[in-house]
Structure 1
Amino acid sequence: MSTPPILCLGRGRSATSIARFFGQAQALEETEDSVTLWNWTAGEWIQKERFAGGFEQISWEDFLPAKVFLSPGIDPRREFFSSVQAVEERELELFCNQFGGQIIGITGTNGKSSFTAALGGLLKEACGEEKVFVGGNLGTPLFEALQRGVAYELAVVELSSFQLERIEGLSMNLGILLNLSPDHLDRYDSIEDYYQTKWGLLKNAQSIIYPKDYRPPSGLAASAVDFWALEPFQDVLKRVGGFLESRLSLKIPAGAWSRIQSLPHRLERWQSERGVIFVNDSKSTNIASTRYALASRPKIRGRSYLILGGRDKGGDFSELAADLSGIEQVFVYGECREKICKALSASVKTEVFSSLGDLMKSVPSRLQEDDLLLLSPACSSFDEFKNYEDRGDRFFQWAKEAESSLIARAKTR
């Protein structure tokens, strides 16, 4: 079999951008009971062959030698990985070696997508839209920055723990660790392994930023910016922005801060005609993410309410009790509603609903001007919805329908 020099395991957006960059590639895409071979031809993937079984059943000698790029979602602890490890190429390492400008890498357990998008937007306003690349785990693959025909001066990239595994021999200009909390324990042998992978970004950066309430691994310098792990998003962003203004000799326009937009389902805000504020943070599917949302919620004149619920991921909801200052009431729904109430009823007033749909039929009519209703569930969505995006979309849909009905009713009085 004729083997091209590039072999991608997986056929997602990263694999496609890698194939475009090199101009030719093969991809092996694994499903439950088979592996499909694809060739990159004339700018698209063409299916060639299908093999029974998974990666463990592949005859790897038929495909090697080649430069192998492993999709971040594939667990390197699997048995087959030893067959390709010696020829593995890391997407992040190659990007850092090929990119001609400065690189800011951002990681953390919660809020890293929103932070990356916001910081990237500020730097685009300061430096020029065409001079700053924003991407990585955020959505736009790293290799897109290498093939757009644009001489980017700066890259602001979100990096997941999966992308940071097994990195060595790279150097970023700035590494930012926002926070750490237990996650991805199906991927790592221990929580310490997960944390060390995140810290690995800072070990490969010239300047580093991390929370002052964290003890860094031995050998790391002090953080260039002081902030707490659960400090409000906007405050951390302003401190990092100020540091970059000094370090990069640039000026972020004053008006840029008011133009920051949240990502869908991440502290996404909608204000009704009645002046009620609805915040969609459906992306918060664990305790730490909801704590972050509570710390980052908008400051308002009215009352604040929180929605929790969904399918339990094994979290300890009592950890939220310390963050509920200023919350008038917690509305609870879904499969783990009883567990949440048991953990929080001594700390805050709670009310239980069977589903988010039932909750949204009742709660909006109780809200007044300047009140805030925050959906930050701390649970997965799969008891009632396809995914967290579906949950967030339905939340806003129900909110808008309820508000329209209330306004129409008020006009007929």
Structure 2
Amino acid sequence: MTTNTTTDVLLHKGSGLQVVVGLGQSGLSVARYLANQGYQVAVTDAQAAPSLANQLPIEIVVRQFGAIDAELLQQAARIIISPGISLATEAVAAARQANIPVVSDIQLFCEACRVPIVAITGSNAKSTVTTLVGQMAADAGVNVGVGGNIGVPALTLLDNTDMELAVLELSSFQLETVTNLGAQVATVLNMSPDHLDRHGDMLGYHQAKHRIFQGAKSVVINREDALTRPLVADNLPRVSTSIHAPDKGQYGLITDPEGQIYLAHGTERLLSADKLLIKGRHNLLNAQAALALGGLVGLPLASMLETLQQFTGLEHRCQYVASAAGIDYFNDSKGTNIGSTMAAIEGLGAVYAPKDGKLLLILGGQGKGQQFGELTPFINQYVSQVLIIGEDAQQIEQHLRAAKISDDVALHQCQTLEAAFATIQQVTKSSLSQVQAVLLSPACASFDQYSGYVARGEHFIALVNQLKVVQSTSLAVD
């Protein structure tokens, strides 16, 4: 362990020591916030030389790096833990056993925030819905702060003293240490197995997610997913979304006799689905969720519908990249769990199925304890080729085969994206190939081969662009 200074002098100055565990972006924001508030602050991180250490305020002199310092944690009045660090970490677990409070930056934010909070979580689509609600608010002239798990640490939003509304994307890791969030409106968009390696089982994951409802003044639920409903019966205003026709006051979809689909609120048709730039049934649910959340904090409907028609979606989330040799390429690198990949397969598969087209699916990475056999019905319906990459590639194939994947679906072990692209060129050369779209939707974390899903998605985009160059050069020579 490396120590920038001794702790002996500081630790006995008072009982209010705040110990920040983990020095990523959220940890840095916590350290700065607490130092500005006048607290006595110490920081510890498992890395010997955290890259953000030189950005810490100079008054924070206790910096224990190289391991999470168990002795330091035992001296804390309160521990603020970064979301990437498990509560089961030995030093943290010992501190909790000693009844030392362990909270996240989100707890500090909700205690300091004086404006309404829109709180959004879910296994999938939370970044899309958070971004969309934030844009709806901004377009309606509201001074809005958007942050949390989406990239801007929540505490940083407090720097905007004119903020009128906070829209937070919250992960299960952030929520497991939050008590009584008190959001103006809270939602769990959907629930599917994810992070079971961290939470132990689906019950632990479910309980962490549902902490978002504590103290909420209203909630939005998904009628298709019973796990999105608050466990405690109450009289809170409750608005729901669905892929089916809505009841009075609820959101859903109405299909007219000609087959045209509309976003609807009760019996009112709000917007034709073909007016949206984001495609797929999952995005129709996302649009409803944004409308419901925005409505519950008073955003005007006409303005929200205008924003919806301009919204192009997020990078690395079912993002259209290019077409090469008549095949469309989609980057869904942010699809890091099976629920997200199910939605991507179903959403895009339904676009190509009427043209007798199939998807080529790239899966794989770090599996996080998921059961990949749950993908099989979607693959059997919409996919003809599955290319498997990454650390858990063999396990993924075993799960798919055990779940009776169709004989019409070919499985290929590729290990890397480069190898996958070589295989793509081989399998799509056949005149019998039904592949009309290539979908990178790994259903896995990326850290076995990349720094994160963004790097994985950028590599995919680079390989698509490289393929286009090769093919255009080949055509020129011919």
Q: Report 1:261-410 matches (<5 A).
A: 261-272=312-323, 276-297=327-348, 299-300=351-352, 302=355, 303-311=357-365, 313=367, 314-324=369-379, 327-334=382-389, 335-336=393-394, 338-339=397-398, 342=401, 343=403, 345-346=405-406, 348-355=408-415, 356-363=417-424, 366=428, 371-381=436-446, 385=450, 387-410=452-475
Which amino acid is 1:281 matched to?
A: D
| Among candidates 279, 285, 288, match of residue 239 of structure 1 | 288
Contact 1:175 1:208 in 2 (8 A): yes
Distance 1:393 1:47, change over 3 A: farther
SS at match of 1:11: coil
Structure 2 stretches of 5 or more lacking a match? 1-8, 245-279
Q: Report 1:67-82 matches (<5 A).
A: 67-77=78-88, 78-82=92-96
| Among candidates 123, 141, 162, match of residue 137 of structure 2 | 123
Shift of 1:13: 1.7
Match in the other structure for 2:271: none
Give the percent of matched residue pairs that are identical in Structure 1 and Structure 2: 25
Which amino acid is 1:135 matched to?
A: G
Which amino acid is 1:133 matched to?
A: G
RMSD between aligned residues: 3.7
Contact 2:44 2:68 in 1 (8 A): no
Q: TM-score, normalised by structure 2?
A: 0.72
Q: For 2:222 and 2:112, locate their aligned partners in 1 and report how far apart those are by CA, in whole Å.
A: 30
Q: For 2:294 and 2:109, locate their aligned partners in 1 and report how far apart those are by CA, in whole Å.
A: 25
Q: TM-score, normalised by structure 1?
A: 0.82
Shift of 1:238: 2.4
Judge which range, 295-304 or 399-408, deviates more: 295-304
| Among candidates 168, 172, 178, match of residue 161 of structure 1 | 172
Contact 1:304 1:374 in 2 (8 A): no
Q: Deviations over 1:30-61 (max 9, x none)?
A: 327899xx7987x4586655488643344733
Distance 1:165 1:345, change over 3 A: closer
Q: Deviations over 1:153-212 (max 9, x none)?
A: 211111111221243344111111011122223333442122012112123311111222
Structure 1 stretches of 5 or more lacking a match? none
Judge which range, 198-207 or 249-258, deviates more: 249-258
SS at match of 1:297: helix
SS at match of 1:219: coil
Distance 1:253 1:410, change over 3 A: farther
* Number of residue-to-residue matches in the alignment: 404
